[in-house]
Amino acid sequence: MRIILLGPPGAGKGTQAKRIEEEFGIPQLATGDILRLAIREGTEWGKKAEPFVREGQLVPDEVVIGVVKERLSRDDVRRGFILDGFPRTLRQAEALEEILKGLHIAIDAVLYFDIPAEELVRRLSARRVCENCQTPYNLISSPPRSDEVCDRCGGKLVQRPDDTPEVIRKRLAVYEEQTRPLVEFYARKGLLVTVPASGSIEETYARVKEMLAKKLHGNG
Ligand code: AMP
**Which domains are delineated in the chain?**
2-26+79-216 (3.40.50.300)
79 assigned binding-site residue: no
Specify whether 2 is catalytic.
no
**Residue 217 in this model has a pLDDT that exceeds 80:** no
List all residues 6 or more positions away from 144 whose beta carbon is below 8 Å from its beta carbon: 128, 137, 150, 151, 157
Instruction: Please compute the mean of the pLDDT values over residues 19-33 and round it to a whole number.
Output: 95
Per-residue buried b or exposed e for 14-37, using 16+ beta carbons within 10 Å of the residue's own CB: bbbbbbbbeeeebbbbbbbbbbbe
Least confident of 50-64, 78-92, 116-130: 116-130
Q: How large is the C-alpha radius of gyration of the chain? A: 17
51, 152, 172, 177 from 180: Cα distances, Å: 23, 33, 10, 6
Percent of the chain with pLDDT over 70: 99
Cβ–Cβ < 8 Å for 104, 2: no
Instruction: Please compute the mean of the pLDDT values over residues 97-115 and round it to a whole number.
Output: 96
85 lines ligand 1 (CB under 6 A): yes
Closest atom of ligand 1 relative to the 87 alpha carbon: 19
Percent of the chain with pLDDT over 90: 89
Please, is 91 exposed, middle or buried when counting C-beta atoms within 10 Å of its C-beta (0-12, 13-18, 19+)? Answer: middle
Instruction: Please compute the mean of the pLDDT values over residues 85-104 and round it to a whole number.
Output: 97
Distance CA 128, CA 58 (A): 21
Q: Which of 18, 19, 48, 88 is catalytic?
A: 88
Distance CA 124, CA 206 (A): 22
136 lines ligand 1 (CB under 6 A): no
The dihedral over CA atoms of 122, 10, 23, 199, expressed in degrees to the nearest 10, equals: 40
**Residue 52 in this model has a pLDDT that exceeds 80:** yes
Distance CA 209, CA 215 (A): 10
DSSP for 27-64 reads -EEEHHHHHHHHHHHT-HHHHHHHHHHHHTPPPPHHHH
* Confidence band for 86, pLDDT divided at 50, 70 and 90: very high
Residue 219's pLDDT is: 53
Residue 172's pLDDT is: 95
127 assigned binding-site residue: yes
74 assigned binding-site residue: no
39 lines ligand 1 (CB under 6 A): no
Instruction: Please compute the mean of the pLDDT values over residues 197-204 and round it to a whole number.
Output: 95
**4 or 216: which carries more pLDDT confidence?**
4
**Residue 114 in this model has a pLDDT that exceeds 90:** yes
86 lines ligand 1 (CB under 6 A): yes
Longest dimension (CA), the chain: 46
Cβ–Cβ < 8 Å for 196, 116: no
Residue from 5, 18, 35 to probe ligand 1 pocket by mutation (most atoms less than 8 Å from CB)? 35
DSSP designation for 106:
-
**Mean pLDDT score of the chain, rounded to an integer?**
94
DSSP designation for 155:
P
**Predicted confidence (pLDDT) per residue in 125-182, tens digit:** 999 999 999 899 999 888 999 988 999 999 999 999 999 989 999 999 999 999 999 9
| Whole-structure pTM value | 0.92
